[in-house]
Structure 1
Amino acid sequence: MRVLRRASGGGRTRSRRPVRISGAGPFLLGCLPVLAAVLALLLSACGGDGTRPRRTPPEPTTRPAPHTAPEPRVVPRSAWLDDFTRHAQPPPRYDDKVVAVFVHHTDTPNGYDCADTPRIVRDLYSGQTGGRQWDDLGYNFLVDRCGTVYEGRAGGVDRPVTGAHTQGFNHRTTGIAAIGTFTAGAEVPRAMTDAIAALAAWKLGLADVDPRGVARLVSSNDLSLYPAGHEAVLPALAGHQDGYATTCPGAALMARLPAVREAAAGLQGRRGPTGPAPSTGTPQPARRVLRTPAPTVSDIEADRRWGT
């Protein structure tokens, strides 16, 4: 680019040799204000000291909280199993989680004193491990008429212990036995059903299962209502008769299960629609789609051995 300078004397202007600015293009000088503005914007974006600005961390993604319920008080095995009755047994078996609960009744007299419950549970243990030659008490939990919950099968109340309560559907389930006989016309104590609801809400809540929903379970035994290896869609809080040909847990207790489901869902903090219709005890056709792992040969053999 050429720059003309004015002569200092004589009032005349004369041309001199142009002055060159090294590296300057034809638009450099005219664009200096624009470049300065761009530079100012860059410095502002980076911070006054030229450092890179700190990025605001993104808002954390919030996931829906799992629907859990408090763990109810459970009377341990040591309260009812004495050294005289106890016998050696194999280690407990476990599943990955509990996705369904089966409710039973023990088919024993109803007019007992709740202080006598430990003896009743001990007698049930003796009958199942003696006459039936099972490895342990089949039920995972037992509930008396006063609403007291007892630990049944060994292995840990907070763990998914494989029970021996519903032939073909002991895997990924928990068995809760109501102590008594609850056929049609029998009185079902409110304290008992409240305790069953609290226990089911807690156990199902560990896997965030809605007690009003359904569970897909694979049968492990041909003696159930579904052939071994077939999938059944059952209530997440079911009666024994939903999976096996029996009248257990009795018509009176079966009729209370819809209310128990609702109470359990409420204890988990669930609101809104009540979900699927309550179980009627009528078996559904067997399905061939396996949505949970099929039982292994060792599982089926163990089920045959222990009557589960």
Structure 2
Amino acid sequence: MIYSRYLWIVCVVLSLFYQTNCECPKIYTRNEWSARKALSTRPLREDPPPYVVVHHSATRSCFSVEDCSKLVKSIQDYHIDHNGWDDIGYNFLIGGDGTIYEGRGYGLHGAHSIPYNARSLGVCLLGSFKDTNPPNVQLKALEDFLSCAAADHKIIADYHLIGHRQADKTECPGDRVHAVIEKWPHFEANPQDASPKKL
């Protein structure tokens, strides 16, 4: 499937005739949200990865760069100090205002979904979405981010999109988020168990 690349080409063509913005969304770097240095890193087993795993943080929501940066920092602190991980678990995170934050970043093994850590991109929507709908701007940011990632070969063009609950015993990414992504073109209803059971 080349849906993401198709969307990108359509956007470029439309931009020749209309005021259409095809720029990829800004990603706030680790330095910009004052990340701690990762204790260690390791590359993905498959890069670009064939899977994208969507999460929610199951925390409060945030709607500004200042507040979301603090929330992302607190998640990193929890993952390192409480979970004993080397860094924040996710590759990227998205705030309620649509801002995107670099977690581990591209090309690096995550700690977000045990069967898929070695061959996926883990993206976390900041907030708790069991009973609350995610803001449209947050979902749009996720769509745009994934389209750009596919176009830039950061994930494979025909990537498989899954929710965290499809890989582990969890409610993540929340009923409301999962109900949305299962309607998206890249959604994989029956994903394979992608790697050995280890972080």
Q: Identify whether the pair has TM-score above 0.5, normalized to the shorter chain.
A: yes
1:113 CA displacement: 3.8
Once the two structures are superposed, the pairs formed by residues 21-170 of structure 1 within 5 Å of their partners are: 67=5, 69=8, 71-81=24-34, 86-87=36-37, 89-95=39-45, 96-110=47-61, 112-114=62-64, 115-153=66-104, 157=105, 159-170=106-117
Q: Tell me how many residue pairs correspond in the alignment.
A: 178
Q: Measured at CA, do residues 151 and 87 of structure 1 come closer, stay the same or move farther in structure 2, by a change above 3 Å?
A: closer
Once the two structures are superposed, the pairs formed by residues 139-288 of structure 1 within 5 Å of their partners are: 139-153=90-104, 157=105, 159-184=106-131, 186-205=132-151, 206=153, 207-210=155-158, 236-259=160-183, 261-262=184-185
**Higher RCO by CA contacts (8 Å cutoff, separation 6 or greater):** 2
Once the two structures are superposed, the pairs formed by residues 282-297 of structure 1 within 5 Å of their partners are: none
Query: Could you give the per-residue CA deviations for residues 21-75 of structure 1, whole angstroms, max 9, x where no partner exists?
Result: xxxxxxxxxxxxxxxxxxxxxxxxxxxxxxxxxxxxxxxxxxx9x9274643211
Structure 2 gap segments, 5+ residues each: 9-22
Q: Which has the higher helix share?
A: 2
Work out the CA distance in 1 between the residues paired with 2:142 and 2:41: 27
Q: Measured at CA, do residues 134 and 194 of structure 1 come closer, stay the same or move farther in structure 2, by a change above 3 Å?
A: same
Q: Which has the larger radius of gyration?
A: 1
Q: Measured at CA, do residues 237 and 97 of structure 1 come closer, stay the same or move farther in structure 2, by a change above 3 Å?
A: same
Is the 1:160–1:172 Cα contact (8 Å) retained in structure 2?
A: no
Using structure 2 for the length normalisation, give the TM-score. Answer: 0.77
Structure 1 gap segments, 5+ residues each: 1-63, 212-235, 266-277
Is the 2:93–2:102 Cα contact (8 Å) retained in structure 1?
A: yes
Q: Root-mean-square deviation (CA), in Å?
A: 2.7
